[in-house]
Amino acid sequence: MLNRLAPFMFVLLWSSSFIASKAGLRDITPLLFVALRMAGCAVILVVTMLVSGQSWRPLTGWRWFHCAVAGASLNAIALMAPHAGMLLAPAAQIALVQSLTPLLTAILGVALLHEDLRPRQWFGLALGMAGVGLVVGHAAFENASRFQGLALAFLGVLGLVFGTLYFGRFCRGVPLLPGATAQFLSAAVVSGLGAWVLETPRANWTDSAFMALGWNTLMTSLGGMALYSLMLSRGTAARASANFYLVPGTAAFLAWLLLGERLSDLAIAGLVVASAGCWLVSARKRGTA
């Protein structure tokens, strides 16, 4: 049951993070926001490891290093860049750029991880890309001042793709809890250094800032990335990352519902096309489990 629900839960949690982040960035600088989020996750996971008596042995050898590299890429670089970009571009457009993740992951996954994609899945990736292009193409040229924000979002895509492929190559055999602990400890260090070196940290501790940080720490980073790691462990990188095609439309819908932002006809069309592409990539062959 969890395997079937995981993609839908992941899409909802990941989409909601754009709304929460946009609210939190009104009071907290972007890199500090990510650093606090990662530090909170790391503390919770270390305490969980100690209280539950989990062994650190699965991280012996070079496994801790591989988990640290994957975590720094998936949870620090992939978040720091788009959070900075949200100061320059709407959250929904940042989410749209992140939907380039499946295509890059699929192409590199075939080349580097020797993953097999059927023609229907390649067609699904192309269809998903077309759905994203319906909105991204227009958004990228709508306002020249947003180009830098979208470029930062693409840098986050590269971090997410690299982390996904690195995880798939080196970290699939590591149990979820110790692996996630190593990943978030590494991400906390990298994002903390980034906030210290690349910006002047500032925080205004309002109720909305606490709520945004708490939601993104507990629900998105811990819950969402746990689901993403589960999908990576039990499927291909391309199939797991294909769910990012559903994020822009979901994020746009949540922005309309919670923030009053208008959901354009183009966004609806993009969501429908991207959803069809995601289904084609994720669907199993007949008769398979």
Query: In a 10 Å sphere around its CB, with 0-12 CB exposed, 13-18 middle and 19+ buried, how is residue 148 labelled?
Result: middle
pLDDT 10s digits, 215-261? 999 988 888 877 877 776 666 555 666 666 677 778 877 877 777 76
Quote the pLDDT of residue 131. Answer: 74
**Cα radius of gyration rounded to whole Å, the chain:** 18
Q: What is the mean pLDDT of each run of 10 residues along the chain (289 residues)?
A: 70 86 92 96 95 90 92 93 88 76 72 70 78 68 72 89 85 86 95 95 94 92 78 63 71 77 69 73 49
Q: Quick one: pLDDT at residue 89?
A: 79
Domain range summary for the chain, segments of one domain joined by +: 2-282
- Residue 169's pLDDT is 81
What pLDDT sits at residue 289?
39
Amino acid found at 158: L
The predicted structure's pLDDT at residue 148: 81
* CB-based contacts of 17, cutoff 8 Å, min separation 6: 215, 216, 219, 220, 224
Give the model confidence (pLDDT) of 181-207 as tens digits: 999 999 999 999 999 999 999 999 999
